[in-house]
Amino acid sequence: MASSLVFSAWIVLGLFMAMGTLTFVPQAQAARAFFVFGDSLVDNGNNNYLATDARADSPPYGIDYPTRRPTGRFSNGLNIPDFISKQLRSESTLPYLSPELSGQRLLVGANFASAGIGVLNDTGIQFVNIIRMFRQLEYFQEYQNRVAALIGAERTKQLVNGALVLITVGGNDFVNNYYLVPYSARSREYSLPNFVKFVISEYKKLLARLYELGARRVLVTGSGPLGCVPAELAMRSRNGECSAELQRAASLFNPQLNQILQELNSQFGSDVFVGVNTQAMHNDFISNPQAYGFTTSKEACCGQGPYNGLGLCTPASNLCPNRDLYAFWDPFHPSEKANGIIVEQFMTRGSTEYMYPMNLSTIMELDSRT
């Protein structure tokens, strides 16, 4: 449904969490604020408040969440932002559209993500009413105005400058746009290499705008192996092999994303944007799921058809009895356990293979001196 960036989720998750312990600007709050932008990999329930099909507000979503009820997260339980908030020793960020997000809870941060969106405004048009990236950034500005009315403009600036920011977007521009249907409008307009360049150029504008709005430490996730999720295996694979075309898209997208992060950091004179190599760790899950306690990385826990990869996860879907044995919860999104393992991996690994332009230990050391 919403994105193959899901994979990214895994890798990114850990990263983010680990980084959650950093401190940049002195703040009145005990924990630093946390802001989330992106798609279904990180949506905490904004789409519950919208008239759209891109929702996860019915069972069995949330079956392993503490309340055992669906929350709008595309997970059987916790998602990436939840694990990051734990590392920040903070409560989970609320969806920006939630009526509960008011008063002191605003100081925790906010989740602006919306399932189905991409970098491009025409991505996810089949979902109609979703919060596209330009609107997420408008909400971020609106959020700051609300907080300023609470604690003043100067403290609000400190809160935002000192916050941890996560942005996970881009996979849907391929899954729910370029490759959505044969001979899609975008595929007729662009060759794949040129389409990637176009998406990257638009992404760079979004990141620059995020900086203008005060973000000073932004974790940017790359795309995971787009062609290896159960949904793509069900639609495009004959013998369980990953989709070559979608894998090619990811292989073109990620290096160019790294390049613009370097360019922006050079432009701003600081390592504001930290790239997360979501593809590297997700490949670990794909190639050797048993090493992480999973029985499979090809079949989703909840779904139907080949690899449980067709359609949506609904009360009528096949549902595995033990979610902890599956790397994927539904046709596109990782299980809660997968998200948790990714977090653990990034808490213990400091290699720049997974994080750039510097590894986690270097960032923590630098930020402790600020």
Is 333 known to be catalytic?
A: yes
Is 330 known to be catalytic?
A: yes
Annotated active-site residue in 39, 43, 173, 330? 330
Annotated active-site residue in 3, 40, 90, 297? 40
Distance of alpha carbon 367 from alpha carbon 72, whole angstroms: 34
Q: Which residue, 136, 134, 135, 130, is CA-closest to 117?
A: 130
Annotated active-site residue in 8, 237, 333, 335? 333
Is 201 known to be catalytic?
A: no
Distance of alpha carbon 109 from alpha carbon 94, whole angstroms: 8
Q: What is the 3 state secondary structure string of the chain?
A: CCCCCHHHHHHHHHHHHHHCCCCCCCCCCCCCCEEEEECCCCCCCHHHHCCCCCCCCCCCCCCCCCCCCCCCCCCCCCCHHHHHHHHCCCCCCCECCCCCCCHHHHHHEEECCCCCCCCCCCCCHHHCCCCCHHHHHHHHHHHHHHHHHHHCHHHHHHHHHCCEEEEECCCHHHHHHHCCCCCCHHHHHCCHHHHHHHHHHHHHHHHHHHHHCCCCCEEEECCCCHHHCHHHHHHHCCCCCCCHHHHHHHHHHHHHHHHHHHHHHHHHCCCCEEEECHHHHHHHHHHCHHHHCCCEEEEECEEECHHHCECCCCCCCEECCCHHHEEECCCCCECHHHHHHHHHHHHHCCCCCCEECCCHHHHHHHHHCC
Distance of alpha carbon 198 from alpha carbon 122, whole angstroms: 13
Residues taking part in catalysis:
40, 330, 333
